[in-house]
Structure 1
Amino acid sequence: MVMNIIAPPKPPLSRLSSAGLPRRLAAIVYDGLLLTGVLFGASALALGLAAALLGSEALKLHNPLTGNPFFSTYLLLVCFFFYGGFWIYGGQTLGMRAWRVRVQRRDGGGIGWWQALLRFLIAGLWLVPVAYLHQVFGVSVGLSLAAGLGCLLLLLALRLPDRGSETELVLLPKS
């Protein structure tokens, strides 16, 4: 005799609500301050290495880091690994933790490096007007910053980093 044993249905997973725009912006500001400190440290490390290799007198005459594409790439990688590392291992940067926000896949699991890279690149699009409006078109610095912040708000309001990387930012319950 074969018995059909049907497992009782699992209760539905409690769906976390999506993080709102003010909370996302607050986490961005918090993480921006932390990233500034990390970039200062990374720059000091590169400058110290340049001084050790070239000598301090040569460094006083000409700073080899100014306009150096390798140095710019190094700082970009530092930024990516700052965000990507936090997103991959725990789903939260320190700013996101302070504002109870977590990044996750749509099924609730953790994200991978490719998703982190997509999020990082799409979220970084707001820097394009900041960097190039002034240099290429001669627009004032204030106006290019305003255009960049407008792009940031548009990116966040449309949730383009979430859509492009198939992730979501959720609001965690109070503990």
Structure 2
Amino acid sequence: MTASRANPQPPHPSDTAAPAASRAIAPPLRRRMACWLYEGMLMFGVVFIAGYLFGTLTQTRHGLDNRHALQAFLFVVFGIYFVWFWSQGHTLAMKTWHIRVEDRQGRPLSQPRALLRYLLCWLWFLPPLAVIAPFQLSAGEATVIVAGWVAVWALLSRFHPQRQFWHDALAGTRLVHYEVPPRRKG
């Protein structure tokens, strides 16, 4: 037996990058959208805590007082939340649905890339909100238009070669399915 067989060397990371990248499979659209909805439900807790903190710090007595400052504060809080979790690989909702976010080479996101992804994620909401803003539509009408845009934006992923959302393609990121390692009995 030779020494190389007795003590096999672990593969160099560059040797395993290509197979890992080729095995990366985008989760089905249905699962990604279920994760998206679950993330939205979890964000209610973040909004509640951030809103309470903002209201306490600014001594806001009415919900419409400081509305634009609250929106800016929530934008920053959401940014911190998503950038931190995405640079770790996933949010709680993504972990629940076995979805991981990574760069095109299969590496965890850097914080600048996670920030770029966060800014580009606003493509889910800003285009329809910008279009309907001058029309003073009712909340119900605005909700239908935004929901329609979200459905269109999600379905556009079908036209991407790897079935990724277009904001991920623009950010140089991708969503991939990952398997949870089995628990050891012990």
Under a length normalisation based on structure 2, what TM-score does the superposition of the two structures give? 0.73
1:141 paired to 2:154: no
> What is the rounded CA distance, in whole Å, between the counterparts of 1:122 and 1:45 in structure 2?
27
Cα 1:125–1:72, aligned 2, differ >3 Å: closer, same or farther? same
Q: CA RMSD in A?
A: 2.8
Cα 1:98–1:21, aligned 2, differ >3 Å: closer, same or farther? same
* Counterpart in the other structure of 2:184: none
Deviation of residue 49 (structure 1)? Answer: 1.3
Q: Which amino acid aligns with 2:75?
A: L
Q: Percent identity?
A: 27
> What is the rounded CA distance, in whole Å, between the counterparts of 1:160 and 1:135 in structure 2?
24
Contact 1:126–1:155 at 8 Å: present in 2 too? no
Deviation of residue 172 (structure 1)? Answer: 0.4
Cα 1:170–1:43, aligned 2, differ >3 Å: closer, same or farther? same
Bigger mean CA offset, 28-37 vs 128-137: 128-137
Alignment partner for residue 98 of structure 2, among 100, 110, 115?
100
Cα 1:92–1:9, aligned 2, differ >3 Å: closer, same or farther? closer
User: For residues 29-48 of structure 1, what are the alpha-carbon distances to aligned partners after superposition, in whole Å with 9 as ceiling and x for unaligned?
Assistant: 11111112101110111111
Number of residues of Structure 1 aligned to a counterpart in Structure 2:
160
* Counterpart in the other structure of 2:24: 16
* Counterpart in the other structure of 1:168: 174
Deviation of residue 134 (structure 1)? Answer: 3.4
- Unmatched segments (≥5 aa) in structure 2: 182-186
Deviation of residue 63 (structure 1)? Answer: 5.2
SS at 1:64 equivalent: coil
Contact 2:123–2:167 at 8 Å: present in 1 too? no
- Matches of residues 26-175 of structure 1 in structure 2 within 5 Å? 26-51=34-59, 59=61, 64-66=65-67, 68=68, 70-89=69-88, 91-139=89-137, 140-154=141-155, 156-157=157-158, 158=160, 159-175=165-181
Contact 1:126–1:151 at 8 Å: present in 2 too? no
> What is the rounded CA distance, in whole Å, between the counterparts of 2:49 and 2:24 in structure 1?
36
Contact 2:103–2:173 at 8 Å: present in 1 too? yes
